[in-house]
Amino acid sequence: MQKILSGKRYLHSISVAYTAASMAMCYQYEDLRQVIIAGLLHDCAKQLGDGIILERCLTIPLSVSEVEARNPFLLHGKLGAYIAKNEYEIEDEDILSSIEWHTTGKPNMTMLEKFIFLADYIEPYRAQKTTPGLLQIREISFRDIDYAMCLVLENTLRYLRESETEIDPQTQVTYDYYKELFNSKGEQN
């Protein structure tokens, strides 16, 4: 990774790996090696740039929605999973899935997928000034992972709306799932 990523992206990947591993230990997840590999590789395609990412996805071919075609940065997880499998010989489907879904998320994510998704958002190099509620989300991530998912997705959707950036429907579906899950947990207590 150090050879193919910029210095900043490499530090981010290391930081995501360690943040995800810290969460995994907190939640007594047994396969820390799996978590670290997923964290290190989660952005392995991001350095390619949007044009190349879209071109490679279409050439392979990987499925590309209309929203993804207009916003190729959304494809770096999907292409990253492909690269992890085909260039880094990762065969663990859980690792590949956590790489694929770390950008938009999906309903009913596994713990590994949640660790990578959240660690990408809360890792120590993330700027607090530009990320509302980051300190609170960091703390909650180690206490109530589903509530943290809900908060991150809510922040992401708010940011996309405020910046007038097109929203991938998958992100909205994922938020709706975790909001309903959190609300149903609250009703049970």
Residues in CB range of 95: below 8 A, 6 or more apart: 34, 37, 38, 41, 84, 112
Residues in CB range of 31: below 8 A, 6 or more apart: 24, 112
Handedness of CA 30, 34, 37, 38 (dihedral sign): negative
Asked if the structure places residue 1 within a domain, the reply is: no
Residues in CB range of 76: below 8 A, 6 or more apart: 43, 45, 46, 48, 53, 103
Asked if the structure places residue 55 within a domain, the reply is: yes
CA separation for the pair 163, 50 (Å, rounded):
19
35: containing domain: 7-188
- Answer with the residue of higher pLDDT: 103 or 1: 103
Per the structure, the count of domains in the chain is 1
151: domain CATH number? 1.10.3210.10
Q: What is the pTM of this model?
A: 0.94
Enter the DSSP assignment of 165.
Answer: P
In this predicted structure, the answer to whether residue 188 has a pLDDT above a threshold of 70 is no
Task: Give which of 120, 156, 101, 149 is closest to 9, Cα–Cα.
Answer: 120
Task: Give which of 75, 40, 36 is closest to 54, Cα–Cα.
Answer: 75
Segment 52-94, tens digit of pLDDT: 999 999 999 999 999 999 999 999 999 999 999 999 999 999 9
